[in-house]
């Protein structure tokens, strides 16, 4: 079974530039999560989707971050414009549905903003 796929794995951009991350969850997993992991810290939830609906985006900085999950499968997380403080690893995870508590994580995208 293929795991959660993310791309790109690494991204270096200058501040004020836009950037997008892509995630393909495990097949059949209805719930998708985006996390941000700062160096030396645990992941922090940005947004959670159940199918195509964003049901928890309270931690997403909406002035510059946006996300979408068209057709309830793949998802894209965008930052525009990026700031120096956005440098982090962005992790995507999925779970079978809201009853399946364990989440399976992708390898992450390491973003460096210069």
Partner 1 sequence: AQSVAQPEDQVNVAEGNPLTVKCTYSVSGNPYLFWYVQYPNRGLQFLLKYITGDNLVKGSYGFEAEFNKSQTSFHLKKPSALVSDSALYFCAVSSFGGSARQLTFGSGTQLTVLP
The smaller minimum CB distance to partner 1, of residues 72 and 81, is found at 72
Question: What is the binding site for partner 1 (CB under 8 A)?
Answer: 4, 6, 31, 33, 40-45, 48, 56, 91, 93, 98, 101-108, 110
Number of helices and strands in the chain (H, E): 0, 11
Nearest residue (CB) to partner 1, 4 versus 82: 4
Is the CB of 3 or the CB of 18 nearer to partner 1?
3
Cα 5 off chain centre by: 11
- Name which of 90, 88, 113, 89 is nearest 16 in CA terms: 113
From the CB of 16, what's the least distance to partner 1, in Å?
27
CB 49, min distance to partner 1, A: 11
Name every residue whose Cβ is closer than 8 Å to that of residue 34 and which is 6 or more positions away in sequence: 23, 45, 46, 47, 48, 67, 75, 77, 90, 91, 92
What's the min distance (Å) between Cβ of 6 and partner 1? 8
């Amino acid at each position: 079974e293929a795991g959660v796929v993310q791309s790109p794995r690494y991204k270096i951009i200058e501040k004020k530039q836009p950037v997008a991350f892509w995630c393909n969850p495990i097949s059949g997993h209805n719930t998708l999560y985006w996390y941000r992991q700062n160096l030396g810290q645990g992941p922090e939830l940005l947004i959670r989707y159940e199918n195509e609906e964003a049901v928890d985006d309270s931690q997403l900085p909406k002035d510059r971050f946006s996300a979408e999950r068209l057709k309830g499968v793949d998802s894209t997380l965008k930052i525009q414009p990026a700031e120096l403080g956005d440098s982090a690893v962005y992790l995507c995870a999925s779970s079978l549905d809201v009853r399946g508590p364990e989440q399976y994580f992708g390898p992450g995208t390491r973003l460096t903003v210069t």
